Chains A and B, each alone.
Chain A
Amino acid sequence: MSRFKLALQDEHRSNLIVSVLAIILGFLAGLLILLITGLNPLDMFIAMGRGVFGITDAGFNIRYIGEFLVTVMPITLTGLSVAFAFQAGLFNIGAEGQMIVGGYAAVFVALVVKLPIGLHVVVAVLAAAVAGALWGFVPGLLKAKFNINEVVVTIMMNYTAMYTTNYLLKLIPGSSLTKTADIPQSASLSSSFLSSLTNQSRLNWGIIIVILAIIIFKIIMEKTTFGYELRAVGANRDASRYAGMKVSRNIILSMSIAGAFAGLAGAVMTLGTFGFGRVLTSFDGYGSDGIAVALIGGNTALGSLFGGVLLGALQSAQTIMQVYGIPKEIAVIVSAMIIVLIAMKNGLKDILKRIGGIK
């Protein structure tokens, strides 16, 4: 008990304890709902085991793990996007739109620009990052120069992104009313190696992009003077001005880089998971998932990975739960409970401390 008390007083460890507790409580809430609705709570865990770890009735199937990772990739990237902006004190609700324009830019380069093998895919991915950055740059600029709330601008730009790219996608030669032509192999992120490793799942080289993005995020925020400036601007704008930092420039840059992370998510989806560009009828929700991921992860790099894995696990389980007759809404409730509990983690911490008898 005394060790537990000590851990609670330590900032980092108490965050971990509270996060784990929030997850456990979230699952308990899910169980309760299953019991009340007369369903077998065990089925939820069986679905989780299959969706995340590939444990099926017919034995182990690694394909599920591959598909699980495919779910994790884009939401981790949009999570990084939201977290990056948040470190600089900005709410990036526009990861969805930045991802959409990123995806479009990647498809455009893949289908229209002719480049040699090797270079083609790199240019397509970079184009996605640049397009996402541009979509983040605009709200950043408006915030910095005219103090226009970035939340409003990014939300509106999500719609602009979707409808504009829907129109532009159909202009690319070979497109139908619902999708573009398939992306040539030279620009594709798909990997027969990774695919065969995971029993023909859609796992692709996008995973490398995700890992690189996490590393870049971590290095910028923790090791560089640029990340220090962003954190200072996010934590105290007046003190940053006092210190002689260029507050406006940092706001614009942080939104742009946040946009680039989301743009990469677009590339991973179009060049990797699907292999073509899609005309969207509504938002996929990767942007709002990103907000949840960043929140669960406390706006850090590794936290976003953790949040992405957690939310990805719940989403992977959702489809499989239905096979067992559990409405997938239950899985949504479980993930919502976890997010709510983490959001109120300071309150949870207080409760824990009171139980532990710490003043």
Chain B
Amino acid sequence: MNVDPTAKIQNISVGMQQRVEILKMLYRDADILIFDEPTAVLTPQEIQELIKIMHDLVAEGKSIILITHKLKEIKQSADRCTVLRRGRFIGTVDVKTSSEKQMAEMMVGREVNMNIVKGEAKAGEPVLVIKNLDVNNNRGMKAVKGVDLVCKAGEITCIAGIEGNGQLEFVEAITGLRDVNEGTIILNGDDITKMSVRKRTNLGIAYVPEDRHRFGLVLDMTLNDNMILQSYYQKPFSNNGFFDFPEIRKYTERLSKDFDVRSSRGPDTIVRSMSGGNQQKAILAREIDRSPDLLIVFQPTRGLDVGAIEYIHKRIVQERDSGKAVLLVSYELDEVLDLSDIIHVFYSGQVVGSIPAAIANENDLGVLMAGSSLEESHESI
């Protein structure tokens, strides 16, 4: 196993950190190893390495329990697969003899369409133009360094990369949650670099945040309250500062129906009690229904079941087809490859490569995500 025993943990790659974790378990003579979503922060190449290590361990007689929501990994690494849904045991299948589609159906409880049906993008005018953007992170270090980027109407622009390479800071700068050091952000020709969050929202930015519990929702308020989170002060939801509750209710009920948001007590449900998939659909409903020019979706399907993922992907493509600019930030390569029209790879706060989705492949993206350039990688082969 390839680790450098003298290196400081903070200086080595996440893949190597994970190998250190595995070594620690082996060192203590563990016979059963539990991996809980081990691939979330790895590049595709590192994932392949990890799967190889797991196979080696099994050959040595260890038992491995792998917890994951990625069907491809199950197919590649597991012998048997047990599906749990909402805390219930659904069934155990032999991986070799069952297809990904079968397992997905067990996970969702109905037939799922694994392939996203998506036509050609009809790219229009640039909606968002970012020039030479510099942004700091919470510790005051430079997180985004001189990024240029354009999002066009009718296109899904994707930012790929491993978590923590400046994607969050970049998006927060666009939405107004974070100050910009340098550079300009232009939306539909207006310079919005220094505008408040509310002004940007009103100019047509919608944002489905990565951390939906911290930013997207007020968990202890009702679905009603959350559906009007940005528009509560506008008509018809309120008049002169006083709420029109029947209007809000009507609105919540309509959105819940349109976006298939399920809740135990309808508009009065406390959002905390809803499932992750329904919470995310509620945010998506709220953001899309404002009919924004620019829809920013950050890790829109993290932690969701296959059924919810399918639905959310479908709605994002619909938005694109209706002529909106979509900026997708995702750490999941499958999602990046399935949804995007153009892919920009972030590494260490910079765009290290831009590839049209039509010619993108997992390997090239993985190389870029690890910080190497494609030329180097091709030369070495």
Residues in A199-247 with C-beta less than 8 Å from chain B? 223-226, 228-229, 231-232, 235-236, 238-245
26 A-B pairs (CB sep. < 8 Å): A223-B243, A224-B238, A224-B243, A225-B232, A225-B233, A225-B242, A226-B241, A228-B225, A231-B225, A232-B218, A232-B221, A235-B220, A235-B221, A236-B214, A240-B218, A241-B177, A242-B175, A242-B207, A242-B215, A242-B216, A242-B229, A244-B176, A244-B197, A244-B198, A244-B230, A245-B198
Closest chain B CB from A211 CB (angstroms): 21
B99 at the interface (CB under 8 A from A): no
| C-alpha spacing A244/B196, complex, angstroms | 7
Residues in A244-294 with C-beta less than 8 Å from chain B? 244-245
Closest chain A CB from B372 CB (angstroms): 35
- Taking a contact as CB atoms closer than 8 A, the residue among B209, B220, B232, B242 that contacts A223 in the complex is B242
Chain A residue at smallest Cβ distance from B207: A242
Residues in B269-302 with C-beta less than 8 Å from chain A? 270
Residues of B within 8 A of A245 (CB): 198
B219 at the interface (CB under 8 A from A): yes
Chain B residue at smallest Cβ distance from A222: B243
Cβ A236 vs Cβ B219 within 8 A: yes
- Say which size band chain A's interface belongs to: 10 to 19
Chain B residue at smallest Cβ distance from A220: B241
Chain A residue at smallest Cβ distance from B212: A239
Residues of B within 8 A of A236 (CB): 214, 217-220
Given contacts A231-B221, A242-B177, A242-B209, contact A224 B215 (CB under 8 A): no
- Say which size band chain B's interface belongs to: 20 to 34
| C-alpha spacing A11/B222, complex, angstroms | 13
Cβ A225 vs Cβ B241 within 8 A: yes
Cβ A228 vs Cβ B201 within 8 A: no
Residues of A within 8 A of B217 (CB): 236, 239
Residues of A within 8 A of B232 (CB): 225, 228-229
Residues of A within 8 A of B221 (CB): 231-232, 235
Residues in B333-353 with C-beta less than 8 Å from chain A? none
Cβ A232 vs Cβ B238 within 8 A: no
Residues of B within 8 A of A242 (CB): 175, 177, 197, 207, 209, 215-216, 229
| C-alpha spacing A11/B177, complex, angstroms | 34
Residues of A within 8 A of B218 (CB): 232, 235-236, 239-240
| C-alpha spacing A238/B216, complex, angstroms | 9
Residues in A77-133 with C-beta less than 8 Å from chain B? none
